[in-house]
Homo-oligomer: A and B are copies of this chain.
């Protein structure tokens, strides 16, 4: 209920991965990786879908805290929220560690 950077719940990480689990959203995310903030109509350019469609995708990523929203004048600008992606990375890193260890144990068991 109070998801900060240190508290990484399974449900929280799952929500982040779900937010990344769409090709359109990954494309949007790639464009946000320049570190700057972009308006919705700006982000709609190049995608084959409508502005409302893009807006929905951005909302999904915002709920998962992958991006952040900011109202500037008459436009809503979205920016990458890097900490959340970092969480996802850390999660995968830990998983990799685990099976790396398992593999190592398996190897030493077989070869020695």
Q: Which residues of A contact B (CB under 8 A)?
A: 10-11, 13-23, 25-27, 29-30, 33-36, 80, 82, 85-86, 88-89, 92-93, 95-96, 98-99, 102-103, 105-106
Contacts and interface: CB of A to CB of B under 8 A. Distances in A.
A20 B87 CA distance: 14
A16 B10 CA distance: 17
Contact of A89 (B13, B89, B105): B89
Nearest to A100: B82
Number of copies of this kind of chain in the complex: 2
Nearest to A12: B23
Contact of A92 (B88, B103, B105): B88
B34 A10 contact: no
Contacts of A98: 33-34
